[in-house]
Structure 1
Amino acid sequence: MTHYVIRVKGTLSRELTNAFPSLAVHSEPAQTVLHGYLHDQAALAGVFNHLDMLGVDILEVMHVPQPARPQPARPEPARPQAARPQPALPQPARPDPDG
């Protein structure tokens, strides 16, 4: 599905905008903006034809690109690490031979 913004001349009545149930409607001074996701170019052509049949002048059509999907982070390759000195382990107590 592709997101489109269609700006038309004039403020469309609710009756006219109800003809486009898959599109959201925003009225602006002397213009109406229809926007939403359409399945394909045929669906977009259907909206154009419908607007034409209603006598509505199209001022602008804009394709809104999909936001880029973030790429998953790649793990850093393992780097060889320098050997760490091991702590000295306590030595067992030895019995004193003199005692």
Structure 2
Amino acid sequence: MTSTNYQVRVSGTIPGELLAELSDLTISVEPPETVLYGELPDQSALFGLIARMHGMGLRLIEVRRLPGDDDSRPPDP
């Protein structure tokens, strides 16, 4: 099974405690949201990330599966 690139958008900023766990992802703060870009190994990892964010009281706005390997970085402005 191959990894998949995702974009995860949450309202507000992510607490430092969770940021330390997300070192493999690219994090972009686009007020009033924080956007995570990166590769997750499977859907279980995605659900785990979502559950962790929910447990920290973050409001999930969007989860988007990105096509291809080159889309794990934020898009150019």
TM class, shorter-length: 0.7 to 0.9
% identical equivalent positions: 37
Structure 2, unmatched stretches of 5+, are: 70-77
Question: For residues 1-99 of structure 1, what are the structure 2 equivalents within 5 Å?
Answer: 1-66=3-68
After TM superposition, the runs of 4+ consecutive aligned structure 1 residues lying more than 6 A away are: none
Bigger helix fraction: 2
Contact 1:7 1:33 in 2 (8 A): yes
Deviation at 1:6, TM superposition (A): 0.2
Q: Which residue of 2 aligns with 1:81?
A: none
- Cα deviation, 1:50-93, whole Å, max 9, x if unaligned, reads 101111010011000116xxxxxxxxxxxxxxxxxxxxxxxxxx
Determine which structure has greater relative contact order: mean sequence separation of CA pairs < 8 Å that are 6+ residues apart, divided by chain length.
2
- Report the residue type matching 1:30 in the other structure: P
Deviation at 1:13, TM superposition (A): 3.7
Q: Distance in 1 between matches of 2:24 and 2:46?
A: 11
Contact 1:3 1:35 in 2 (8 A): yes
TM-score normalised over the length of structure 2: 0.78
Deviation at 1:28, TM superposition (A): 0.8
Q: Max radius of gyration: which structure?
A: 1
- Report the residue type matching 1:41 in the other structure: Q
Bigger strand fraction: 2
Aligned positions, number: 67
TM-score normalised over the length of structure 1: 0.62
Q: Distance in 2 between matches of 1:16 and 1:41?
A: 19
